[in-house]
Amino acid sequence: MRLDVTLLRYLSRDEFRALTAIEIGMKNHELVPTSLIIQIAHVKHGGTKKAITTLHKNKLVWHDSKKYDGYRLTYQGYDFLALRTLCSRGILSGMATKLGVGKESDLYIGINAEGVQVAIKFARLGRTSFRSIKNNRDYLEHRKSASWLYLSRLASLKEYAFMKALYENGFPTPVPIDWNRHVVVMSLVNGYLLANVKRLIHPGRVYSDLMNLIVRFASYGLIHCDFNEFNIMINDEEKVTVIDFPQMVSTSHANAEMYFNRDVNCIRIFFEKKFGYVGAEYPVFNVDTEREFSLDVQVAASGFSSEDAKKLDALMEELKMNEEEAEEDDDEDSDEEDDQVMSISAVTDSNAPVVEFDERVSRRTRVFQQLLTKDAAKEIEEELEVRKQLKKRGVHVTNKNTTKLKSKRDNHNQIRNGW
């Protein structure tokens, strides 16, 4: 799937309201009926249907009229909602090339408000066809087609929460900048994937650094669970940076010892095969090891709940079991991305209202729990600003309309509670 953000700057306020209405409706609908979209969007003079037609034409929503006439978001539509929010916060002003594509995510180079390059990671759970996965997924509750977007959101939230906690405690990770929906914005790491490195000057030192890092993770109550050459970057000075955190678990997890040993063995086997280095020493998991800190508890308190973790872990386990049978979607587009930077800063100049945020508060120093609370408040503030702008333009908005009040309430609950 090719992400073309050129369209983002041309979408109207009505089209974004319709897109948001479909997102809200997907909370309890597999396909959101047009009547409900109209009710939630509050677009005057029948503009919602026109907006939906534009969204469908540009593949931001998917339409099914065979059994049930309704719409749902595509990943492209979900991308646009997340990017618009990040633009309105002043986090992003442009996008450049695609850095890489994985089974579960896409990575792009972005441009922030100061013109500095950043990394933008889009979670894409469900992109590959796991046809042998059981249809009955209790952990997805009533969600079916919407579950992939929901679980992608959980994966991004988990990754951002762990990255932020690790970075603030001195671990070698990218700098976490912001998060919204299924998108994580982080600093761009200057280095190379360890998998692509042909030769190390000091393989023993790098091996020791990685083993010490695994032990340090455990001393903070965490296990990476995917600690391999594809999730480790190394620079010219042979300093390592760990990336990709959506599979991290606590050392109190039932399979903690197995995950710990797997991380250790991945590094041992890779160094022996790639560099001919056999480490004489390697760590062994000890459940009685005294913790320095409990980052697993800190992350749980940051907004990524234990219930969220159960749902995501259940999915990840099943995906791993069926990984060998996974097939790439037939409609995946492998076109190369244009190297030219595509400006999306103009979205803040369109007639879609945005809210100015206090830039005096550093996002990097906030605790994650405060960030989530402020994030929800800003979403509500933006909705209030929309109503204010409508009144200024002469559009009749009344608080006495019961339908609008109920939709408003549901909208706010949706923003506060996630999904």
Active site residues: 226
Phi/psi of residue 133, each to 5°?
-70, 140
Token pair of 284 as six digits: 């062994």
Token pair of 213 as six digits: 């890092």
Report d(CA 296, CA 250) in Å as an integer: 6
- The answer to whether 166 touches 216, Cβ cutoff 8 Å, is no
Burial of 89 (0-12, 13-18, 19+ CB in 10 A): buried
- The answer to whether 243 touches 160, Cβ cutoff 8 Å, is no
List CB contacts of 39: < 8 A, sequence separation 6 or more. Answer: 403, 407
Q: What is the dihedral angle through the alpha carbons of 368, 370, 375, 378, rounded to the nearest 10 degrees? A: -160
- CA angle at 376 for the pair 358 and 91, rounded to the nearest 5°: 45
- The answer to whether 1 touches 332, Cβ cutoff 8 Å, is yes
Which of 276, 303, 324 lies closest to 366 in space, CA to CA?
Answer: 303
Q: What is the dihedral angle through the alpha carbons of 300, 302, 304, 306, rounded to the nearest 10 degrees? A: 20
Residue 286: strand, helix, or coil: coil
